[in-house]
Structure 1
Amino acid sequence: MASLPVLLEDIRACTICAKYLPLGPRPVVQAHASSRILIVGQAPGRKVHETGLPFNDASGNRLRDWLGVSRDLFYDERRFAIVPMGFCFPGTGPSGDLPPRPECAATWRAPLLARLKRVELTIVLGQYAIAYHLPGQGKSVTEAVSRWQETWPTAVALPHPSPRNLAWFKRHPWFDEALLPVLRARVADILSTDAGGKRIR
């Protein structure tokens, strides 16, 4: 079995979906064998495609606020693995970005996740990520998020932090009031220890 660094090199060189990608392939992924928290998104947006940095956009600003972490912590691969369902920008449709290309998960997801053995919390964002990682969690994103305690403390479903979901956030104040404080505390607890469980001073 190839090492994680070799696998990541192969992923970043992947072109299997090239003919379907309007801006061409540019796989965006962040991972390390010591990653403690796994963030599963949908697929990079246009701005992320341009910069090559995951969640380097308004969605990322909101997500970091939800987690209570700085940009420096968020982009520390030894702490956070960021592994979307599709690694490349899929293009834009009538109502937003297109779904992640299915070839991506079918080819890369299982071998990559198998190498992330130190993950203590998986944060699952949006419908495509929920369908793959938490298939029994509900028929909608709202239902999956509302049942977050069923998979806690090792996994949690969240709505996508996109600005397009502002109306959802306003309609569900319990998300901000009940779930986010618990999530921030869990993230802080995980990040307060090293990969061996020893508390970081």
Structure 2
Amino acid sequence: MLLPELLQEVRACRICARVLPLEPRPVIQADSRARILIVGQAPGLKAHETGIPFNDPSGDRLREWLGMSRDDFYDAEKVAILPMGFCYPGRGKSGDNPPRPECAPAWRQPLLDHLPNVELTLLVGRYAQEWYLGKGTSLTERVQNWRDLWPQQVPLPHPSPRNNLWLRRNPWFEQELLPELRQRIEQFRGLY
């Protein structure tokens, strides 16, 4: 199956329709030419409403972290965005619910098989990191040890404003990791 056909199937997915708070609306971005893959958690309400991934303050912060313009970030030929859950999972006590567990096993590998040019994978948040790196290590430890995965993968905290306290407690993230990450992203500019 070609990627456009697969994306059409994904966008028509109704695997967890009966348990979602809103009508399913898978929010993803992919093109086989993409060199950067962003693996998030699940779309927030604004992303669900607009159909645009990271279309909220979290996305603004993530683009700032990466030193990327909106145009580059939303160019599927440059950046693929495949969260662990493709639909808005609803609200919980302390923010959005976790991504639905049905999504990744059903769609993740078939989509990744169509992304042969990815050279950098950004693992944004705990759910993405646990899928790729396993459980047993805290998010802080994974992000602190980012050099162990460099330059193919980079674990990042979620860019949500809810993580302002984490960012204040971990100034090394903005002082050490982000400058290196921006340089890595800059290496792709001539390859777009």
1:48-74, Cα deviation, whole Å (9 max, x unpaired): 101000000000000000000100010
**Unmatched 5+ stretches in structure 2:** none
Q: Give the AA of the match of 2:140.
A: T
The runs of at least 4 consecutive aligned structure 1 residues that moved more than 3 Å come to none
1:125-146, Cα deviation, whole Å (9 max, x unpaired): 111100011227x611100000
8 Å CA contact 1:79, 1:191 repeated in 2: no
What's 1:140 paired with? 138
What's 2:94 paired with? 95
1:95-123, Cα deviation, whole Å (9 max, x unpaired): 11111011100100011111100001000
1:125-180, Cα deviation, whole Å (9 max, x unpaired): 111100011227x6111000000000000001000000000000000000000000
State the alpha-carbon separation in 1 of the partners of residues 109 and 26 from structure 2: 16
Q: How many residues align?
A: 192
What's 2:63 paired with? 64
Q: Give the AA of the match of 1:95.
A: S
State the alpha-carbon separation in 2 of the partners of residues 92 and 179 from structure 1: 31
What's 1:109 paired with? 108
SS in 2 for 1:109: helix
Q: Give the AA of the match of 1:59.
A: S
State the alpha-carbon separation in 1 of the partners of residues 105 and 141 from structure 2: 26
What's 2:154 paired with? 156
State the alpha-carbon separation in 2 of the partners of residues 37 and 191 from structure 1: 11
Is 2:166 aligned against 1:168? yes
Q: Tell me how far 1:191 sits from its aligned partner.
A: 2.2
Q: Give the AA of the match of 1:167.
A: L
SS in 2 for 1:156: strand
**Unmatched 5+ stretches in structure 1:** 195-201
Cα-Cα RMSD = 0.9
Q: Tell me how far 1:192 sits from its aligned partner.
A: 1.9
What's 1:32 paired with? 31
1:25-50, Cα deviation, whole Å (9 max, x unpaired): 00000000000100000000011101
TM-score normalised per structure 2: 0.98
State the alpha-carbon separation in 2 of the partners of residues 93 and 135 from structure 1: 24
Q: Give the AA of the match of 2:177.
A: L
State the alpha-carbon separation in 1 of the partners of residues 80 and 34 from structure 2: 6
Q: Tell me how far 1:24 sits from its aligned partner.
A: 1.4
State the alpha-carbon separation in 1 of the partners of residues 120 and 76 from structure 2: 14
Q: Give the AA of the match of 2:139.
A: V
8 Å CA contact 1:120, 1:190 repeated in 2: no
State the alpha-carbon separation in 2 of the partners of residues 59 and 176 from structure 1: 16
